[in-house]
Amino acid sequence: MFLKKSPWIIHYDGSSCNGCDIEVLACLTPLFDVERFGIINTGNPKHADIFLITGSVNEQNKEIIQNIYCQMPDPKVVVAIGICACSGGIFAECYNVLGGVAKVIPVDVFVPGCAARPESIIDGVVKGLAVLEEKGKKFKNMKKGLATLSIDPAQIQDSAEILALQKAAYQSEAELYNDFSLSPLNQSLEEIKADFKSKIFLKAVLNKVIVGSVRAYQEKETCHIGRLIVHPLYQNWGIGTKLLYAIEARFPNAVRYESFTGHKSKRTLYFGRKRGYRECRREKVSLKRERVFFEKTREGKAR
Ligand code: SF4
């Protein structure tokens, strides 16, 4: 296989005995020396193509794993190394263990073994390279298709499609809090239709399908932006950014823009920060959840 780019890996050791962890280190050190294939170990998720995980997932590390995964640019590949990362292994029955890595993020390659041998880890990484190549091709084709993306005002007739999209987009949020009573997941068609009377809705349309949406209304000097959603298949394609800027532009008289998310939704918080929003207050919604409000002034500066 020929790859134009050297694949960079990032390694995270979850709840393990450190056996597989040490085998991964053996791959990087002179005896197995994966660097000779151009494979480099990085500590920065933003530079990584392949996410190697050893050990099982527990309540404490699941957010760290999701956080690293979300920060990696697409296309990316996840390799679960050792039986603990594949299924929870001998730790599966522990009180706080959720199981294998696939419980919290999508896994592309499973490398079983206890401990997984360096040869099989290298084999798993090579399989990961093939997946990476395949994803890279799909990514390029999808990017070409994005040229036809349009952001338009949504109409009440779009309610059912936007509601279905909203429910798909909020699944990951519900899983994050283990709370499927979130209001976006339980909104009815009548409620969303009623929202059209008080809010402006925008839709992102790709090949005649709505793949993103956002809604907002203005109260005094503040534009309240809500439910910025993008279909899970099209996330990290810049569609959310386009929707955000388009909805801001619809409220030229607003002095400030405000939105909110849950306290665990690090990805949304990061998205907001990158676009000039800053946290301004927090509100307790339930025992499990806090609402984090973030704001931006018209000049793009936090007050
Ligand atoms: S698979 Fe075996 S060696 Fe690897 S972390 Fe689990 S218990 Fe340790």
pLDDT digits (tens, 9 = 90+) for 65-88: 988 888 888 889 999 999 999 999
Could you list the residue range(s) of the whole structural domain that residue 284 is in?
149-297
Q: Are residues 210 and 180 in the same domain?
A: yes
Quote the mean pLDDT of the chain. 89
Q: Are residues 173 and 136 in the same domain?
A: no
Structural domain contains residue 303: no
Structural domain contains residue 263: yes
Structural domain contains residue 237: yes
CATH of the domain at 138: 3.40.50.12280
Strand order in the sheet with 77-81: 40-41, 8-13, 50-54, 77-81, 109-111
* Residue 25 C-beta-side C-alpha neighbours within 13 Å: 6
73: three-class secondary structure by DSSP:
coil
Structural domain contains residue 246: yes
Query: Final residue of a domain: which of 102, 121, 143?
Result: 143
Q: Are residues 112 and 160 in the same domain?
A: no
pLDDT band at residue 174 under the 50/70/90 scheme: confident
As for how many domains the chain has, the answer is 2
Average pLDDT over residues 90-95: 90
Ligand 1 within 6 A of CB of 68: no
Structural domain contains residue 258: yes
Q: Are residues 168 and 280 in the same domain?
A: yes
Q: Are residues 124 and 162 in the same domain?
A: no
Ligand 1 within 6 A of CB of 20: yes
Is the distance from CB of 83 to CB of 114 less than 8 angstroms?
Answer: yes
Ligand 1 within 6 A of CB of 83: yes
Average pLDDT over residues 149-175: 90
- The β-bridge relationship of strands 256-262 and 290-297 is antiparallel
Give the tens place of pLDDT for each residue, 196-229.
999 999 999 988 889 999 999 999 999 999 999 9
**Does residue 1 surpass a pLDDT of 70?**
no
Q: Are residues 290 and 164 in the same domain?
A: yes
Average pLDDT over residues 145-150: 83
Q: How much is the pLDDT for 4?
A: 67
Ligand 1 within 6 A of CB of 88: no
Tell me the C-alpha distance between 49 and 125, whole Å: 11
pTM above 0.85, yes or no: no
Average pLDDT over residues 247-265: 93
Query: Final residue of a domain: which of 143, 163, 188?
Result: 143
Q: Are residues 194 and 88 in the same domain?
A: no
Query: Final residue of a domain: which of 117, 143, 169?
Result: 143
Q: Which of 20, 56, 58, 120 has most ligand 1 atoms within 8 Å of its beta carbon, as the pocket-test mutant?
A: 20
CATH of the domain at 166: 3.40.630.30
179 φ, ψ (degrees, to nearest 5):
-140, 105
Q: Are residues 117 and 154 in the same domain?
A: no
Q: How far is CA 127 from CA 11, 110, 111, 122, 249, in A?
A: 17, 10, 10, 9, 46
Determine the distance separating the centroid of ligand 1 and the alpha carbon of 19, expressed in angstroms: 5
Q: Are residues 156 and 250 in the same domain?
A: yes
Structural domain contains residue 302: no
